[in-house]
Structure 1
Amino acid sequence: MKIGKVPENVLKRAVFKQIHHRRQEVLLHPGVGEDCAAVAPEQGEVFVLSTDPITGADKQMGVFAVHITANDLATAGAEPIGILSSIILPPETEEQDLRRIMSELEQACDELQIEILGGHTEVSDAVNRPVITVTGVGKVARGDLLSTGGMQPGDELVMTKWAGLEGSAIIAAEKRDVLEQTLPAHLIDTAESFLKHISVVPEAKIAMQHGVHAMHDVTEGGIFGALWEMGAASGVGIVADLDKIPIRQETIELCEVFDINPYLLISSGCMLIGCENGNLLVDRLQDAGIPAAVIGRATEGNDRVIRSGEETRFLEPAGSDELYKIYE
């Protein structure tokens, strides 16, 4: 496609025809010439907003884009309503590529029963592969709003699912040709299927029913980065047990191929929850079919550490995610 705005006829075929309207809160929907969306909350509710870019994935990037933003909203206790998407495409992009991205966005929105509220689509030589930026809109009762900084000393830390979830799915999808040289196909298939677990909206709903103090989704920087961020946001120390952090064997084997530390690997689909009674919450999550474990606790002070037997490692702020090693 030519550089500039995507032509109107392509927009109608590849974009607007795929968008479905699901939410009564949405008053103004996307269309040619529409510059804004309009959403109306109920009395006593507040809007929660979040934005994320997707740059580290190609396959299923539309699915990642929706769920990652919805996950951010869920950590605040909010119910997602919809998204606005900005899609920047390189000049060699064909209409079918845009149609695929929109299909992925709509697929994820359907799973969450939310809407595409609006956005922008453009072709530019400033990028060499598609870039999607999604802004999510959610709502929550004013008194139920949570922040990542709400954890208190003595709170237990519950982790859902397993470390490296999203990164494993991306590596399996993007680097199958390399992986198949040393790993069996069924292991790679299983890792790629982790994508179906990427939403943390279900566990957030359960957690909100049990008086949690804080939630944080585990994204770039992996579980080690997320533990640091949660402690820093709350102004507390963290003590976590490495042996209690759930991780799949598929993730370990994929990471060995690229010399990746799986605990520093992007892990959307995994959530950290600070609460008083972690074991009770774990039981409730497992009753709903969501794997979870108590992996540590919040402490007084500022030390944030991982323990493994007699060894102690001090956590640090997240740097570049380990995922990017696969592109080197």
Structure 2
Amino acid sequence: MSKLSPADLEQYIFSRTGAANDDLLVGAGYGEDAAAIAADGSTLVVSTDPISLAAERIGTLGVAIASNDVAACGGIPEWLVSTIFLPDEDEGHLDTVTGQLDAEARRLGITIVSGHTETLAALDRPLLSLTCMGPTDRYVPTSGANPGDVVLLTKWAGIEGSAVLATDFRDTLLDAGVESATVDRAAAFFDDVSVLPESAVLAPVATAMHDPTEGGVLNGLVELACASDVSIELDSEAVPIRDETRRLCAAMGVDPLRILGSGAMLATVPAGKSERVVSSLESEGLDATVIASVSAADDPAAIGVHTDGRQYRDSVRDDMYDLWE
């Protein structure tokens, strides 16, 4: 499992978007979290996302991930359309998934307005596809990073990945010698997967925001750099990583910067405003760290992320994918 390359996306996806519509303000584009549609003097942010690999908390994560994409564009998530595919007609599966969807949507103040549910015998685990919508007064794209900006990361790397490892691979981790208390603390990271709180602080000032999901912080930075046509210099040592994340990743042989990263927000802000923005986030109980700087890519070949002597300009495959194969 991996994301399509930018070239394939351009050829087969972004060039095939049906009829033109003047109300579409921001449409499909590499790295963009959501679309923006003009609606009665406001802007409607719309995003859709599938989830299939996190079996234990798929409903909880599904709502968080879909709403995060709206929040990462400065939107306020309000409505959700839920499509559920189950591997069998076991009412227990249906009860668990819909119960998780309902609980997380209520917690985040989101209304599930429609959807579709069916069973597919070809599946071996539940599969969800969720569309989230909400209004904004200021749409913030992934493509807005400017030379001279710095990149902030809220919370820490690998939040979602740590929680999924702790639940889907608990026995493997225990067998590898990870203490049960460490695994339990990492499982509780599910409570930190939403980025709605930091979006409210960042949206008025950020030049770009992005939700690092598949491929983690590293891939999120690549998407941000390529969408903005800039060069990003990443200080990998500055990226905050919780001890639980380090321990779980070491036991499973994965890189904390390359695992599912929902729960953190990448945002670019002018360097002169970074201290004030970090202070504003901290006043809301949210950690934030400057992890990178943005510079002009005078040569197109320089577009991408530069760190530890390497350049990344293609999608980074999530290290966790191999664990399910």
Aligned mates of 2:39, 2:219 — CA distance in 1: 36
Residue number in structure 2 paired with 1:66: 63
Residue number in structure 2 paired with 1:45: 42
Residue number in structure 1 paired with 2:76: 79
- 1:288 Cα deviation (Å)? 0.8
1:96 equivalenced with 2:92 (yes/no): yes
Retained in 2: the 8 A contact 1:80–1:137? Answer: yes
1:269 equivalenced with 2:263 (yes/no): yes
Residue number in structure 2 paired with 1:108: 104
Aligned mates of 2:53, 2:276 — CA distance in 1: 36
Aligned mates of 1:222, 1:318 — CA distance in 2: 11
Residue number in structure 1 paired with 2:117: 121
Aligned mates of 1:316, 1:265 — CA distance in 2: 17
2:196 to 183, 197, 201: 201
1:184 to 167, 179, 188: 179
Retained in 2: the 8 A contact 1:58–1:174? Answer: yes
Mean Cα displacement is larger for which, 250-259 or 152-161?
250-259
Retained in 1: the 8 A contact 2:218–2:316? Answer: no
Deviation string, structure 1 residues 190-229 (Cα, Å, up to 9, x no partner): 11111100000110001123x2111001100111101110
Residue number in structure 2 paired with 1:327: 324
2:244 to 250, 261, 269: 250
- 1:43 Cα deviation (Å)? 4.0
Aligned mates of 1:49, 1:126 — CA distance in 2: 30
Helix, strand or coil for the counterpart of 1:77? coil
- 1:303 Cα deviation (Å)? 4.0
Helix, strand or coil for the counterpart of 2:77? strand
- 1:234 Cα deviation (Å)? 0.7
TM-score (structure 1 length as normaliser): 0.83
Question: Which amino acid is 2:166 matched to?
Answer: A
1:238 to 217, 225, 232: 232
Deviation string, structure 1 residues 90-123 (Cα, Å, up to 9, x no partner): 12x4112101111100111111111001000001
**Equivalent pairs: percent with the same residue?**
35
Retained in 2: the 8 A contact 1:88–1:131? Answer: yes
TM-score (structure 2 length as normaliser): 0.83
Helix, strand or coil for the counterpart of 1:103? helix
1:158 to 147, 152, 155: 152
State how many pairs are aligned.
281
After superposing on structure 2, the runs of 4+ consecutive aligned residues of structure 1 that deviate more than 4 Å are: none
Residue number in structure 2 paired with 1:304: 304
Helix, strand or coil for the counterpart of 1:202? helix
Retained in 1: the 8 A contact 2:226–2:303? Answer: no
Q: Determine which structure has more spread, i.e. the larger CA radius of gyration.
A: 1
Residue number in structure 2 paired with 1:146: 140
Aligned-pair Cα RMSD in Å: 1.5
Question: Which amino acid is 1:200 matched to?
Answer: V
Structure 2 runs not aligned, ≥5 long: 1-37
- 1:126 Cα deviation (Å)? 2.7
Residue number in structure 2 paired with 1:221: 215
Aligned mates of 1:200, 1:162 — CA distance in 2: 12
- 1:138 Cα deviation (Å)? 1.1
Mean Cα displacement is larger for which, 298-307 or 129-138?
298-307
Helix, strand or coil for the counterpart of 1:111? helix
